[in-house]
Structure formats: structure tokens, C-alpha cells
Amino acid sequence: MTPKERIKNQAKWLKTVRKIHRISGLSLLIFLLVISGTGILLGWKKHSAGLILSKSYTGTSTDLSNWLPLDSLHTNACRFLQDSVSPKLSTEVNRIDVRKDKGMVKFIFKQHFTGIQIDGATGNLLHIEKRRSDYIEKIHDGSILDYYFETDTEWIKLTYTSLMGLALMMFTITGFYLWYQPKVIKKLPRE
């Protein structure tokens, strides 16, 4: 292959990669904006003055021997949820976050984005929170669609994260190629 043919071949490859990079970028623009925007919000959640992630309140005792049994705290959390937020909300718990160092137990519910913080020793209500960070995280990883369509296997999240991960990998590779290949072409002999 002559140097001119080699340069022409390299330039053709460069043009093809540029086209793949451009078309893919335009096709995935909305998804990439959503992922980057929600990623920024999630990065700042602890520094949002309670707007994205509510602060963890402090109970009266960090000594677990002074705490009420977990089932009593759960009963109180469900009662506070239905009395203070809405009696129509599901009391099915997604997770229980025990914060021994804060003397507090946080109940996060499965069917909605509400959190109840309870004093571990007294069972009193410390705080009711809207779990905005959980909602943003579900948008970020695509599981928001699994949430609304009530899929147990999270196949939408798995598909979305796999596709977006592969897309990011492809953008990195093609972007590097688009940056590096012109340097290679310039170094090729012209005769």
C-alpha cells in the first residue's frame, strides 16, 4: 500500500468513526443529559441544605439497651405515616436504617418516597421526609420505570444501565480515536 493510499484509508476510517460518534451522541443526547444532571444532583445531595437529602435527626440515646424493640418502632413509624402524611399510603417497608450513633431509626417505604425518622429510645417522631434523593437515583439508573411498571426483576434498569454503560464506553473509545488519529495521519509519510 502506498503512503497516499494509507492516508486515504486512515482518513476514511476517521470519517466513519466520526459519523458513529455523532449519530450515537445525537441519539442518546436526552439520556446523557438526564444521567449527567441527576449525577450532579446525587453528588450534591448531602450538601443541599435538606432539599435533596434530609438531615438525620438525633434521638435521645445511643445506648441500644435503652431502645424500644424494632417491631414497636415499626408500629410507631407506620402510625406516624398514616396520621401525619396520609392514611392511604402503604406501610410496606423497603428498608430500615438504624443509626446507633444518632439514636435514631429511619423507615423508608417501598411504595412511595417517604421516610420516617424515629427516636430509638422513646419511639417519638423526629422527622418526616420526602426522599427526593431516592427518586433522583431511580431516574439516574432507569429503575423509575421498573418502579412505575412494578417489575420485580428490574429488567428495565438492567437494560438501561447496560446500554448507557456501553454507550459511554463507545464514546470514550471513539472520542479518543477522533483525537488521536489525526496525529497519526500527520506523521505518515506523504510520498
Q: Please give the chain's pLDDT, 191 residues, in tens.
A: 888 898 899 999 999 999 999 999 999 999 999 999 999 999 999 999 999 999 999 999 999 999 999 999 999 999 999 999 999 999 999 999 999 999 999 999 999 999 999 999 999 999 999 999 999 999 999 999 999 999 989 999 999 999 999 999 999 999 999 999 999 888 888 76
Residue 32, amino acid: L
Q: Are 109 and 92 in contact (CB under 8 A)?
A: yes
The residues of the chain that CATH labels 3.10.450 are 55-130
- Dihedral of alpha carbons 34, 35, 40, 46, sign: positive
What are the phi and psi torsion angles at 5 (to 5°)? -65, -40
- The correct CATH number of 55-130 out of 3.10.450, 3.40.50, 1.10.3470, 3.50.50 is 3.10.450
What are 107-150's pLDDT values in tens digits?
Answer: 999 999 999 999 999 999 999 999 999 999 999 999 999 999 99
